[in-house]
Structure 1
Amino acid sequence: MNEPGELEQRLRALFADDRLTVEPADDAAAVIVAGARRRRRRQRALTSAAGAACALAVVSAGLAVVQLRGEHATADLSSRAVSAPTPLASSPVPEPTSSAASSAEQAPVEPSDTEESDLPVPPARPPRHSTPVPTSQPTSKVVAGTLVTADGLGAVKLGMTEKQLTDQGVQLTPVKESGSCTYYDVAGAGVPAATAVVSADKGVVSVKPDGAAHTPEGVGDGSLKDQVTSTYPGTSESSSELVSPTGDQGAYHFTLNSDGAVQGVEVRAKAQDCAG
């Protein structure tokens, strides 16, 4: 192996050889300058293209926003037109001419700034009141006809004997007899026309006026069953009549017609052996 000094000398001789020298071309400087200019032009073109692309994107986004706002305004205008009340036309409206129609079609529709609260509000219709159905039950007391009380009729009182009746001026006209009881047509001063049933043992046990009658509580001819039962608690129904107790002395007997209304009033003694 050669010594280090000999190797160094050979390398120096090799690098000093003129054959390895590369001479630059005469137009090398111009070529370098031209290449630098081309690179700058490319950079400018790329920068311009990027700016144009950005501007195009901004314009496209703006157009999209404008279009969306236009569609929203049109939909809002349509909904307001539907919700707005249609005015009643008092006279026919003439149809627009062809030129006016074409102008209206060509005119752009601008969104209205009118709020829904500014739209005309139709007047409220007054509520419909249904006609009340009148009830068949009288709301007032019956006062027509003869007054029948719990103890009798005028001068004819329950429990009175035939002698007591005649002493009071009551005229007795026999109608029929049933067992120990006699049916009389009664009349006289202060005595309405009526039929009285007199028992030989218990005296007068029943009195019934010939015409319309009513009780002091206002129940009489024309009163309905509900009015009788509400006026006299404890009322019971027997056949075609209602029996309403009046206390220890007796009870009212209300005869009913086919419609369920009172058509006759009679008062009877509680303890009796012939009436009914």
Structure 2
Amino acid sequence: MNISEDELEQRLRAMFADERLDLPPPPDAGSVIVTGARRRRRRRHTVQAVAGVAAGVVAIAGGLTIFRLHTEDGTAVMSADGSVISVKPPENLTPGRQPEPSTPGPTSTQDIQVSPPPPASTSKPGRPRPSEQPSTLPRVTDGPLLASDGFGRLKLGMSEAEVAAQAVTLSETQAGAACSVYTVEGSGVPASATVVISKAVGLTVVTPAQVAHTAEGIGGGSTKEDILAAYPAAKEESGGVAAPTGAAAEYHFRLGGTGVVETSLMSLNQDCAG
């Protein structure tokens, strides 16, 4: 029996339209569906929670069995499934020091920047301030000049007769067996002075009556520091300072409350008391 397509379509439509084929849902179908959905949701949440706890336990246990730290030489050893991998710490990681960040090198010629050299300084060094200038020793020029070899026309080593021939007058104040003390005055000396003359070696000591000054500017009022600065080889003695002058004589500066109060010239080659 041959049926055309149109007739087949009409029969199928009539069959599907038959009310006898309808299956009405039961009265409690909605509540059954909601209850089943809630049951499936609770099962899924329970399975996920159990799976998460199990995964955490496995990860902790695996971590404890996989990693071992060797602190003797700073090497970290990781072993898993029988395999061992040694990892050395960075060389720049030292105890108490943070690792230095590595600086990436230039990747191309465009990354390299060359800084220009600093400009040459053209400024000239400033002149020292007045306070930085070397201090100048105050020079004393008051009073007669007591030279390093004598006083006026009198020179160390002259005999009594030679001293008397220098236009001076000798007044004996103290006579001794070896040496005599005289007061000299006259045009042959800048000022009156006391001299000591040895019968063996001649004139040995000259002490002007006024506070004399030396060629180095030491005289009345000069301090001990001034003397030591002018004569580096000077040495302190009782009541003053002795300063060598040349190879055959020395100055003796007697100090008082205002500085030098008396200056004498003394020969090193003598047999008289100082």
TM-score norm. by structure 2 comes to: 0.49
Structure having the larger proportion of residues in helix = 1
Q: Higher relative contact order by CA 8 Å / sep ≥ 6: 1 or 2? A: 1
Q: Which has the higher strand share?
A: 2
